[in-house]
Amino acid sequence: MQGTHKFALALAAGFMLGAGVIQALHAQAKPPGYLLAEVAVTVDEATYKDSEFMKQTVPSIKATGAKYLAGGFNNATALSGASPANRIVLLQFETIDKAKAWYADGQAEREKKLGSKVASSFRILAIEGVNQ
């Protein structure tokens, strides 16, 4: 009987360990999320960078751990289709869910209340990355 209990306990422990490993692998398998912002800024670059909108937006992005990959003023060229807005930014988040959560957790309101004072339009795209 003792051997049976030890075997059952070892089997249960192995199952739990395996389930934990699978969960960890699944969490690692989620691809990064990207956020592409296209902003039609209506003021000069210095005014935009010093605006209350940017003073609130930049810290909120940093708080998520997102990485700033590309962006700036007049830094994008249309290879096909309509010309882009004068400000383009590309951010990388841990997952697309985190990118969407950041936007839903205040950025949409910042655009309406503060961003509208320095820009005529915002086009924000959340893009799910791919695992390589």
DSSP code for 9: H
Per-chain mean pLDDT for the chain: 89
pLDDT at 19: 60
Where residue 82 falls among pLDDT bands split at 50, 70, 90? very high
- Long-range interactions of 55-58: CB distance < 8 A, separation 24+: 56/110, 56/114, 57/107, 57/110
Phi, psi for 101 (deg, rounded to 5) = -65, -40
Q: Would the pLDDT of 81 be above 80?
A: yes
Do residues 48 and 86 touch, judged by C-beta distance below 8 A? no
pLDDT at 7: 65
Instruction: Please give the share of the chain, as a percent, with pLDDT higher than 90.
Output: 77
pLDDT at 132: 79
Q: What is the tens place of the pLDDT at every residue in 10-56?
A: 666 677 777 665 665 555 689 999 999 999 999 999 999 999 999 99
Nearest CA among 92, 96, 95 for reference residue 69: 92
- This prediction has a pTM of 0.75
pLDDT at 9: 66
pLDDT at 14: 74
CATH placement of domain 31-128: 3.30.70.100
pLDDT at 29: 81
